[in-house]
Structure 1
Amino acid sequence: MTRLLATFVWLLSGGGGAALAQTPVAPPAAGFNVTAITFFVFFVALTLAITYWAAGRTRSAADYYAASGQISSTQNGFALAGDLISAGAFLGLSGLIFGTGFDGLVYAVGYTLGYPLIVFFFADQLRRLGKYTFSDVIAFRLAPRPVRTLAALSSLSIVAFYLIAQLVGAGQLIQLLFGLPYLYAVLGVGALMICYVMFGGMVATTWVQIIKAILLLCAATFTALLVLAHFGFSYERIIAQAVEVHAKHSAILQPSTFAASPWSTVSLALALFVGAAGLPHLLMRVFTVPDARAARTSTFWGCTIVAYFFSLIFVIGFGGLAIVGSTPAYLGANGAPIGGGNMVAIHLSHALGGNVLLGLNSAIGFATILAVVSGLTLAASSAVSHDLYANVLKRGSASDADEVRVAKYATLGVGIAAVLLGIAFEKQNIAYMVGLAFSISASSNFPVLILAMYWKDFTTRGAVVGGSVGLVSALVLTILGPPVWLKVLGFAQPIFPLDPPTLITLPLALATCVIVSILDRSAQAETDRALFERQRALLRDDASSSITEVPGGMSA
């Protein structure tokens, strides 16, 4: 098997595969790469063709937001995986492992462990109670206008941090391979994501995510096999080489960074574990399938696919450290990878398979970013159009046409804002930025969602006050902490030490929700508590897989 893979790589790279040659192939210069551009053009053309096809099938709000619930459980499982496996996973985690070793794997494990919460606690309940967004669920038994406003603001904040990560990865990738300035690279990605969502809606987004998930799984599997083949299928040899080339040597096999700040480690673990259950672009996926059973099944398959992918990161990450870290031509004068830490996986591709594998994996990485930003942009635009415009401003009286038109305007606005933020956060590691999005999700959406579905005494006032406390505290402490105060604004010391702040903000949000709800004796609170029993009755009824809203925040 080793010899077969070696021969294939040799042929793939024109008889000179860097992983097998005595002298590694020279790394790609930041400039015009014909092979990479060919693959890029092919994938962009394919996704634009999908968007054109989907535009003809997107006629109503149900089509635009949820593909009219016509996506099968298998298709949605791959699309969900496509949403989960972002640039932060493929590019960012490889960079984190290159820099910190074992510490980078904590993110991979955390991402994987958090998603089963959606399967066991949310998937089928969301599908039975909701329509397009998770705010439909909390508005089922709570006053719709205030809780939808909170949910929209929270979703937009989460999406902003997540979009920053994807755009930074895309900008650095295109900058390295095309020689374009980072600014133009981010502008190009922003234009494509606006196009996909404005014209194709959920149908286009779903199929872009499905295709991207399949391609990325194949690429990651093949790359991992090539790494193993290079080291004689011995993971021990990979680790030994990684330890040898890293400046900290055997210390990279220990949680050194996390051990130095244990409270931040616990805070990060908490954010990754519960944050996934509040991510708006993931929760939207459960509304694209026909019924609650399909929602649960598709979420299970999505989590399984994601777990397999992250297992490959253990090989690709340390393989990148061992191979790229021992090849001076891939490193700058300071020992960092050329193009930044997010480019380790790209350099590894070139080392293993020359320009062909480099171009293929770069294009697939780019497709990964396009798929994820499409889902994020759709979630943000739906928060504006469905929650704020249709249900808060218009009180449920907006027509489908008006709602979709506002969604498209919102898509344009979100795209412009995301590009500006992507430019501001150019130097940040993208896996790290995704972790911040999880932190905000864990502190705002998650407490409100789980209490609305499982605690009978939860009230509108408790949701609004508690959710607002979680959202504001997460944003403020993130700005005052190392992520922004130190690494973006450049101050010498952060005002707030925890990174991320979830260990403080999540308990604070939950406690506020509970205390305010218990003390709430308003007429609305009595209505909220009474509607809990009706909600439970619908959740017990397996036949209730299609629920439509009626005025007043209730459903029928």
Structure 2
Amino acid sequence: MSQIHYFLATVAITIAITFWAARRNSGRASFYAAEGKISAPQNGLAIAGDFLSAGTVLGIVGLFFAVGMDAAPYLITPLAGLFLMLTLIVGPLRRLGRFTLGDVVTHRMESPHIRIVIGLCTIVISLINLVAQLVGAGALISIVFGIPFNFAVGIIAALMTIYVAFGGMLAATWVQIIKAVILIAMVAVLAALCIGRAGGYAPLFDLAEISARSRDMFAFGGLQLGMFGAISLALTQVTGMMGMPHLLIRFFTVPDERAARRSLVIGTTIIGIAMATVLLVLGPAAIAFVGGDASLRDPSGGIIGGTNMITMHLARLLGGDMLFGLMSAVAFSTILAVVAGLTISISSATSHDLVLGFRKGRSLTEGSEVAIFRLAALVTSAIGVGLAILFQKENITFLIVMGQTVAASTTFPLLILAIYWRGLTTAGTVAAGLFGLVTSVLGIVASPAFWMKALGHPEPLIPTDYPALVTVPATFLVAWLVSTFVPARPARAAQA
């Protein structure tokens, strides 16, 4: 089979799942949360499928290729975030929420302003992550089919709109489940081929060290983060993981709190195994085999297609066109699954939080809310395409961390405070949410990665790409100051 056949088969399967789900969707509960009928093992696989995105399959290997073991924190710290999520958030989240994070934050402060703020935060976080996935998808398809990046991104956006508008959360869940199973199998196959080609696991590292030449790939410091940057990056990924809306809304798809906790344990176990394989096998193999192959270099000396495509080059070197085609289809399905979940997060926040907030609590009919949900999916696709074209040269993993920066500064503190602090007021919630959103976005825009690389300015406005070490504590402080010193009626006592 040619690569185009693998892609067409992937698209056919996912569209079949979408229309199967569409026949079973009966209202907003179906579109938002699959009516809470997903089992714990199924949701665990879906969580793994949602997490193991293009950033894991493509971006982390490319990052390891560029900076060696400095890529490790991008894999290790999110696992710490998942464990803390299990301890602090999952139980209360499932108990207090129904469809969106806005339901949880307003469980004792029913305020339209809070719904608007949490809806805006959810949209910004999910949109940044959506752009990361579209960048990976566009680069992949443009290389495989030789079509322009802009056109490739448009194809993904069109498919994404179909999945979400017709299939909702049920379709996204099953696409994520199937994709997770296939992805894990293909990563295992590729890892086995890497070890087999090297003649063993230890020789693989020897080959990688030879290919790396003067660079010590096991030495830290390649990213040149400094003490502030390293601590801030760790804080970003730990707390940002606990505030990622597209992962958190997955816990509304299971029947109860126990199933939510169990599904996260299953998902975290799968994620940990897959990420360890990527870091400890595929990363060194990329340096050993791709790094020394001159045919994979462009005239400027860089890798053809950029570092995001190193995994695909590795697949072709070890398994020929067949494995390249299979891995391309797997990476493609990975992106489709994740963008579907992100788009649902944005669409549900728009129809259930923003619209309800602006209507000041007046409910929509289920039909109207679903119609807005579908319209939001279409608008999200259009905006995502434009931003993906702007950031097409950026590393996928770094873009995902930018989304985590906003999550760490907004949804994470809002959820923790709403669940555990009885003194939180409506004014404190709104002020903290807006402060965290504005400062984290401004921090990203002013950073070297955005201000210099994306916008072309000679100097950044701030010296770090990771402002969370300032924005996260400051958001908690703003919530405390406003709740304590601004006259307002306190929220009802938390029942978490």
> Normalised by the shorter chain, which TM-score bucket?
over 0.9
**Aligned partners of 2:376 and 2:215: how far apart in 1?**
49
- Cα distance in 2 for residues equivalent to 1:255 and 1:37: 40
Letter in 1 for 2:231: V
| 8 A Cα contact 2:22 2:166, kept in partner | yes
How far the C-alpha of 1:261 sits from its partner, in A, is 2.2
- 2:114 is aligned to 147
Does the Cα contact within 8 Å between 2:67 and 2:223 map onto a contact in 1?
Answer: no
**Unaligned residue ranges in structure 1 (runs of 5+):** 1-33, 540-556
Name 1:553's counterpart in structure 2: none
| Aligned residues of 2:116 and 2:357 also touching (Cα < 8 A) | no
Deviation at 1:39, TM superposition (A): 0.8
Give deviations 1:398-446, integer Å, cap 9, x for gaps.
Answer: 1111100110001100110001111110100001100110111000110
1:97 to 48, 64, 69: 64
Q: Secondary structure at the residue paired with 2:106?
A: helix
* Amino acid of the structure 2 residue aligned with 1:49: A
In structure 2, runs of 5+ residues without a counterpart are: none
Partners of 1:110 and 1:405 in 2: CA distance:
39
The answer for the alignment partner of 1:518 in structure 2 is: 484
SS in 2 for 1:101: helix
1:135-163 Cα offsets, whole Å, 9 max, x none, are 10110112321111111111111111101
**Which residue in the other structure is 1:13 paired with?**
none
Q: Is the 8 A contact 1:78 1:302 kept in 2?
A: yes
Structure-1 separation of matches of 2:441 and 2:456 = 18
What is the Cα-based RMSD across aligned positions, in Å? 1.2
Deviation at 1:248, TM superposition (A): 4.2
1:129 alignment partner AA: L
2:282, 2:17 → 1: CA distance? 31
Give the partner amino acid of 1:418: G
Compute the displacement of 1:187 (Å). Answer: 0.3
- Normalised by the length of structure 2, the TM-score is 0.98
The aligned runs of 1:90-129 (5 Å cut-off) are: 90-129=57-96
Q: What is the alpha-carbon distance in structure 2 between the residues aligned to residue 407 and residue 140 of structure 1?
A: 22
Over residues 327-366 of structure 1, what are the superposed CA-to-partner deviations in whole Å (9 max), with x where a residue is unaligned?
1111223332111100000000001100000000110000
Question: Which of 36, 40, 45 lines up with 2:7 in the alignment?
Answer: 40
1:370 alignment partner, one of 336, 342, 359: 336
The aligned residue for residue 193 of structure 2 is 226
Looking at structure 2, the residues matched to 271 and 378 of structure 1 have their Cα atoms a distance apart, in angstroms, of 23
Aligned equivalents of 2:431, 2:360: Cα separation in 1 = 23
Equivalent residue runs for 1:235-274 within 5 Å: 236-246=202-212, 248-250=214-216, 252-274=217-239
Amino acid at match of 2:126: V
Counterpart Cα distance in 2 of 1:160 and 1:181: 22
8 Å CA contact 1:264, 1:500 repeated in 2? yes
Q: Which residue matches 1:416?
A: 382
Matching residue within 266, 291, 301 for 1:325:
291
Residue 20 of structure 1 corresponds to which residue in structure 2?
Answer: none
Aligned to 2:443: 477
Matches for 1:187-202 after TM superposition, within 5 Å: 187-202=154-169
Q: Does 1:156 align with 2:103?
A: no
Does the 8 A contact of 1:324 with 1:330 survive in 2?
A: yes
With normalisation by structure 1, the TM-score equals: 0.87
Aligned length, in residue pairs: 495
Q: Distance in 2 between matches of 1:214 and 1:357?
A: 17
Q: Is residue 131 from structure 1 mapped to residue 98 from structure 2 by the alignment?
A: yes
Ranges of 4+ aligned residues in structure 1 off by more than 6 Å: none
1:211 — aligned with what? Answer: 178
CA offset at residue 247 of structure 1?
Answer: 5.4
Q: Which of 267, 272, 276 is residue 241 of structure 2 equivalent to?
A: 276
Q: Does 1:184 align with 2:151?
A: yes
Residue 368 of structure 2 is aligned to residue 432 of structure 1: no
Encode CA deviations 1:30-59: one digit per residue, 9 max, x unaligned.
xxxx62111111010000000011111112
What is the CA-CA distance between 1:294 and the residue it aligns to?
A: 0.4
**Which has the larger Rg?**
1
2:21 to 54, 57, 77: 54
CA offset digits 1:439-495 (Å, max 9, x no partner): 110001101110110111111111111121111000011101112101100111111
How far apart, in 2, do the equivalents of 1:79 and 1:91 lie?
A: 19
